[in-house]
């Protein structure tokens, strides 16, 4: 296996080749300093990887394996800890190139990303005998020798710098301690690896910081923007991830034992001033970066300690991305755009992990730039263009004494006092939340929320029956219901239904997904929605269709020009509302906006 080679690796390699070499000769060959050589020699001798012998005042370095074989001729100064320490590690690690040559493996996807100063390679594959697809991480490999030195540095720093609970929960103290720790790591890396170039030293520094202050290899997974969920079920099985493109995958990342999982859960809890222990074995936390973490300790989770991390999308979905991936049709997107433009309210429903919040985020792309938007969520997931007049609000869990909780209902009521033009609600679940939402709509606010239901009919039934019990007379305040779902056969997300609410509160499905043809097809003409739009705009049926066709043309232009970035999409939409004629010049000439 190809390792990132450090000076101590080259020294060990030299000793293995020569079997016996004088220190001054090693210094000359490796072009290093006596001081650095002394550090390497002391470490390798302490680990039992070499034997140091003095003869005629000259220090000789001997390969410990040779010493084991020739104990009768050479008397070692210190006994090697174990012969296995210097045995090759290649047998237990598979390289990326070896993976590709394996006839039992079919590569499905591969890509590269960066984490701090580290380059990470990812291979998604199908392996014969495995029932699920695999996700393998490959980092620039560090040899066992270098790994030993880094571990020694970590242990040394832990003993030198003590960190208390109050130091971590106090953000200013925590940042000061982290800075101090990182500075000490930099000094130690320079001490042991002074012969390396700056990029290699930066890599070792980042690797050690992640290991000492972070979640180790879990941090590497967190840096992959393609992942939505990272799941640790127990130490006896690998970490699982949910990939945007490939769904659930099993990784090559493992944790040492249950104690390490507990340690990681405790680290996460301490950062936000929460504890997880025998008395409080459940942790539900929102991190500053927006990620949501849930952790459980054994015996509450019978098979072992668990951690579930739902990642905050750094690169959010936009309407262009949905169209490019065939998640929604151009006609459905144009109809939703028109409804949103004229301030009609809508509910986005679907099952778990069907893409409800991502769809809500995409539809928010259609908001005019001169309106105030309030978003309300349990976990921060929505991301709107930076230049919009947007105030994101988040609920808060109670503290350890059961005080200080801020609920969705509290924020909904408060948002009505903030002069909003649009209200986005991450998810409504309870009767009070839904009642407040409908009150907001009836007082003239355009509201958009996500809800758990699998069809338009089921959405209406759940809203109008216990335990939610919205009066049927109030339901037509919602103009549209958009249903998202995850295809059970292909594991892809699609818009399943687009329905209008009739005056008698019945859902009228306008578009229905055909799973065999993988298209969203029109099944009925609109009556209620078009009547409402006509009432507010004065448009005839023909004029409404002309506007919808124009919007389809703009959306196709966005796909063709690959306008996928959220701020770029936002700027185009702002141009539509402020200077549509100018935008249409770009669209008609197919020039880059």
Determine whether 53 is exposed, middle or buried from the number of CB atoms within 10 Å of its CB (0-12, 13-18, 19+).
Answer: middle
Has residue 573 been placed in a domain? no
The winner for highest mean pLDDT among 24-33, 209-218, 258-267 is 258-267
Asked whether the beta carbons of 3 and 12 are under 8 A apart, the reply is no
User: What's the average model confidence in pLDDT over 177-187?
Assistant: 80
Residue 455, domain member (yes or no): yes
Q: Which of 282, 310, 338 is the last residue of a domain?
A: 310
pLDDT in the model for residue 37: 85
pLDDT of residue 191: 81
- With cut-offs at 50, 70 and 90, classify the pLDDT of residue 87: very low
Q: Give the pLDDT confidence score for residue 396 in this predicted structure.
A: 84
Q: Mean pLDDT, the chain, as a whole number?
A: 86
* 289 in the same domain as 328: no
Walk across the sheet containing 240-243 and list its strands: 105-115, 118-127, 134-139, 247-251, 240-243, 227-232, 306-310, 292-296, 282-286
Say if residue 329 is in the same domain as residue 301.
no
Do 180 and 69 have their domain in common? no
Contact between 422 and 371 (Cβ < 8 Å): yes
The residue range of the domain holding 141 is 98-310
83 has pLDDT over 70: no
Helix (H) or strand (E) holding 179: helix 171-192
Both 265 and 146 in a single domain? yes
Tens-place pLDDT, residues 335-381? 999 999 999 999 999 998 899 999 999 999 999 999 999 999 987 88
Largest CA-CA distance found in the chain, in angstroms, rounded: 105
Burial of 407-425, coded b for 16+ CB within 10 Å and e otherwise, reads: ebbbbbeebeeeebbbbbb
**Cα–Cα distance, 593 to 590 (Å, whole number):** 9
pLDDT surpassing 50 at residue 214: yes
Strand partners, 186: none
Q: Confirm if 356 and 350 have CB atoms less than 8 A apart.
A: yes
Q: How far apart are CA 132 and CA 125, in angstroms?
A: 9
In a domain, 575, yes or no: no
Rg (CA), the chain: 30
Domain boundary among 31, 64, 91: 91
User: Are 135 and 71 members of one domain?
Assistant: no
Chain centre distance of CA 381:
11
CATH number, domain at 30?
1.10.10.10
Query: Within its chain, how far is the Cα of 50 from the centroid?
Result: 44
H-type alpha helices, 34-143: 34-46, 64-69, 96-101
Higher pLDDT, 192 or 349: 349
Buried b (16+ CB within 10 A) or exposed e, 526-557: bebbbebbeeeeebeeeebeebbebbbebbeb
- Provide the residue count of the chain: 593
Weakest mean pLDDT among 2-11, 62-71, 94-103, 522-531: 62-71
Residue 569 sits at the vertex; the CA angle it makes with 568 and 570, to the nearest 5 degrees, is: 90
Q: What is the pTM of this model?
A: 0.75
* More confident of the two residues 169 and 413: 413
pLDDT for the residue numbered 204: 84
Three-state DSSP class for residue 328: coil
Average pLDDT over residues 215-241: 93
Q: Which CA distances in Å does 289 have to 211, 313, 364, 380, 549? A: 19, 10, 21, 9, 40
pLDDT for residue 95: 65
pLDDT band at 185 (very low <50, low <70, confident <90, very high): confident
Last residue of a domain, one of 263, 283, 310: 310
539 pLDDT tier (thresholds 50, 70, 90)? very high
User: In the β-sheet with 478-486, what is the strand arrangement from edge to edge?
Assistant: 389-394, 372-377, 422-425, 446-452, 345-350, 478-486, 493-501, 507-514, 519-522
Residue 480 and residue 460: Cα distance in Å, rounded?
11
- Residue 158: CATH number of its domain: 3.30.450.380
Helix (H) or strand (E) holding 253: none
Question: Does the pLDDT value for residue 101 go beyond 90?
Answer: no
In a domain, 283, yes or no: yes
Contact indicator for 434, 331 with CB cutoff of 8 Å = no
Q: What is the CATH number of the domain that holds 437?
A: 3.40.50.300
| Whether 305 contacts 258, CB under 8 Å | yes
Residue 570 lies inside a defined structural domain of this protein: no
3-state helix/strand/coil string of 433-495 = HHHHHHHHHHCCCEEEEEEECCCHHHHHHHHHCCCCCCCHHHHHHEEEEEEEEECCCCCCEEE
For 459-487, give one letter per residue: b (16+ CB within 10 A) or e.
bbebbeeeebebeeebbbbbbbbbbbbbe
Residue 347 and residue 281 share a domain: no
Residue-wise pLDDT for 52-81, tens only, equals 877 655 666 666 544 333 333 333 333 332
Low-confidence winner among 93-97, 263-267, 446-450 (lowest mean pLDDT) = 93-97
H helix or E strand, kind and range, residue 279? none
Nearest-angstrom CA–CA distance, 20 and 135: 43
Residue among 112, 179, 188 at smallest CA distance from 153 = 188
Least confident span in 162-171, 340-349, 426-435, 511-520: 162-171
Taking 70 as the threshold, does the pLDDT of residue 168 lie above it? no
In terms of domains, do 329 and 268 share one? no
> What pLDDT is recorded for position 503?
95
Residues 152 and 272 occupy one common structural domain:
yes
* 73 and 113 housed in the same domain: no
Q: Could you give the dihedral angle defined by the CA atoms of residues 212, 217, 223 and 226, in that order, rounded to the nearest 10 degrees?
A: -170
Q: Which residue has the higher pLDDT, 270 or 351?
A: 351
Token match 């590569």: residue?
Answer: 107
Average pLDDT over residues 507-518: 95
Is residue 288 over pLDDT 80?
A: no
Contacts of 265 (CB under 8 A, 6+ apart): 276, 283, 295, 297, 305, 307
**Residue 94 has what pLDDT?**
63
Does residue 494 sit in the same domain as residue 458? yes
561 to each of 134, 324, 465, 513, how far by Cα in Å? 34, 11, 46, 27
Q: Is residue 551 part of a domain?
A: no
Report angle CA 58, 61, 63 to the nearest 5 degrees.
155
Same domain flag for 239 and 306: yes
Q: Are residues 263 and 397 in the same domain?
A: no
Structural domains of the chain, count? 3
Indicate the DSSP class of residue 196. Answer: S
Question: Would strands 389-394 and 372-377 be described as parallel, antiparallel, or unpaired?
Answer: parallel
pLDDT in tens, 485-509: 988 777 789 999 999 999 999 999 9
C-alpha to C-alpha distance for 435 and 441, rounded to whole angstroms: 10
Q: Residue 593 falls within a domain, yes or no?
A: no
pLDDT average, residue stretch 431-437: 92
Instruction: Quote the pLDDT of residue 575.
Output: 97
How far is it, in rounded angstroms, from Cα 270 to Cα 400? Answer: 13
User: Is 542 in a helix, a strand, or coil?
Assistant: helix
Query: Domain for residue 563, yes or no?
Result: no
Joined together, the tokens standing for residue 467 give 């335990």
Prior bond to 526 cis, omega within 30? no
């Amino acid at each position: 296996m190809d390792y990132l080679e450090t000076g101590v690796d080259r020294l060990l390699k030299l000793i293995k080749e020569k079997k016996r070499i004088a220190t001054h000769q090693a210094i000359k060959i490796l072009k290093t300093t006596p001081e650095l050589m002394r550090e390497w020699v002391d470490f390798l001798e302490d680990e039992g990887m070499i034997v140091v012998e003095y003869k005629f005042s000259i220090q000789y370095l001997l390969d410990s394996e040779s010493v084991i074989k020739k104990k009768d001729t050479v008397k070692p100064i210190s006994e090697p800890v174990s012969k296995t320490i210097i045995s090759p590690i290649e047998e237990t690690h598979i390289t990326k190139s070896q993976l590709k040559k394996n006839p039992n493996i079919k590569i499905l996807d591969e890509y590269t990303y960066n984490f701090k100063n580290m380059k990470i390679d990812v291979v998604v594959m199908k392996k014969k005998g495995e029932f699920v697809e695999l996700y393998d991480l490959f980092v620039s490999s560090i040899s066992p020798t270098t790994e030993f030195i880094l571990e020694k540095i970590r242990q040394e720093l832990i003993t030198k710098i003590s960190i208390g609970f109050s130091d971590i929960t106090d953000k200013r103290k925590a940042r000061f301690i982290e800075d101090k720790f990182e500075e000490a790591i930099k000094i130690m890396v320079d001490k042991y690896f002074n012969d390396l170039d700056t990029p290699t030293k930066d890599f070792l520094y980042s690797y050690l910081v992640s290991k000492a202050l972070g979640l180790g290899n879990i941090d590497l997974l967190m840096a992959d923007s393609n992942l939505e969920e990272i799941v640790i079920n127990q130490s006896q099985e690998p970490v699982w991830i949910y990939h945007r493109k490939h769904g659930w995958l099993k990784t090559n990342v493992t944790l040492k034992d249950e104690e390490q999982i507990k340690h990681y859960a405790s680290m996460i809890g301490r950062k936000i001033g929460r504890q997880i222990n025998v008395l409080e074995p459940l942790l539900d936390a929102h991190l500053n970066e927006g990620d949501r973490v849930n952790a459980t300790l054994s015996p509450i989770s019978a098979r072992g300690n668990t951690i579930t991390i739902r990642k905050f999308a750094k690169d959010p979905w936009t309407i262009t991305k949905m169209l490019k991936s065939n998640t929604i049709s151009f006609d459905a997107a144009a109809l939703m755009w028109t409804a949103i433009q004229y301030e009609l309210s809508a509910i986005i429903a679907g099952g778990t992990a069907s893409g409800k919040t991502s769809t809500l985020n995409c539809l928010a792309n259609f908001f005019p730039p001169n309106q105030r938007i309030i978003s309300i969520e349990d976990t921060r997931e929505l991301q709107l263009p930076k230049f919009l007049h947007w105030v994101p609000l988040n609920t808060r869990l109670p503290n350890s004494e059961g005080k200080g909780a801020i609920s969705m209902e509290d924020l909904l009521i408060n948002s009505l006092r903030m002069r909003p033009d649009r209200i986005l609600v991450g998810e409504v679940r309870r009767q009070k939340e839904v009642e407040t939402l409908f009150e907001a709509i009836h007082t003239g606010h355009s509201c958009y929320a996500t809800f758990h239901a699998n069809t338009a009919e089921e959405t209406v039934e759940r809203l109008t029956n216990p335990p939610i019990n919205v009066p049927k007379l109030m339901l037509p305040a919602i103009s549209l219901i958009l249903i998202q779902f995850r295809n059970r056969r292909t594991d892809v997300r699609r818009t399943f239904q687009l329905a209008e609410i009739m005056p008698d509160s019945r859902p009228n499905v306008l578009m229905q997904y055909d799973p065999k043809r993988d298209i969203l097809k029109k099944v009925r003409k609109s009556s209620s929605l078009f009547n409402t739009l006509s009432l507010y705009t004065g448009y005839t049926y023909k004029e409404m269709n002309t506007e919808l066709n124009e919007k389809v043309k703009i959306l196709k232009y966005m796909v063709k020009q690959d306008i996928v970035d959220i701020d770029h999409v936002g700027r185009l939409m702002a141009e539509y509302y402020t200077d549509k004629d100018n935008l249409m010049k770009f669209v008609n000439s197919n020039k880059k906006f």
